[in-house]
Amino acid sequence: MTTAVVTVGPEATFAEVVDTLLDNDVGGVPVVDGAGRLLGMVTEADLVAKEAYGDRPRRALGLVVDYLRGHDPQWVRKAAGSTARELMTMAPVTVAPGDDLAVAAQFMLEFRHARLPVVEDGRLVGIVARQDLLEALRASGEGRGGRGGDDAGEGEARVTGGDPVEGPDPAAGPPG
């Protein structure tokens, strides 16, 4: 888990969100309020919708026509968004500190997410990404074909818990 999470506020503009993703080499950012409460997530896909569907506001009838043409109304709506609040996915899938990494991995696969916010009492405390899971697999021996430890509980990994479960800290810069 990464605890130094790059975030944006709900009023961040489309351009500010794009800059945040590119400047920090991340594929998505949590949207948080002033108290650090998670409001939603904005990902690259949310931003790409603008290119796919244009950025003109849609009326209800236009959304129906897009739907009949096979376009997902969610993406069409996001394409017209200009702030993080309008672009974000509300109520994103989250994990809690102490959840098994297996739970995070299952959620990532089931919901097709590359990263999950880690939330405690409604507040963002970290983020776990696929890269973190790979680091945990390597540290446990899984990445080298082993199953990790043979004793009960020895091969378990948690979203938090210190080295080696935690992934690299992005504040240290991108991996070289």
Q: What's the pLDDT tens digit per position in 38-71? A: 999 999 999 988 877 665 555 555 555 555 666 5
Helical segments of 29-167, H only: 44-53, 60-68, 73-79, 84-87, 101-111, 130-140
Section 31-35 average pLDDT: 96
Its pTM surpasses 0.85: no
Residue found under tokens 């074909």 = 145
- Residue ranges and CATH numbers for the domains of the chain are 1-92 (3.10.580.10), 93-167 (3.10.580.10)
Residue 151: pLDDT band (50, 70, 90) is very low
Residue found under tokens 């690299």 = 168
CA–CA–CA angle 58, 62, 65 (5° rounding): 145
Asked if pLDDT for residue 34 goes beyond 80, the answer is: yes
pLDDT of residue 164: 28
Burial 86-101 (b: 16+ CB within 10 A, else e): ebbbeebebbebebeb
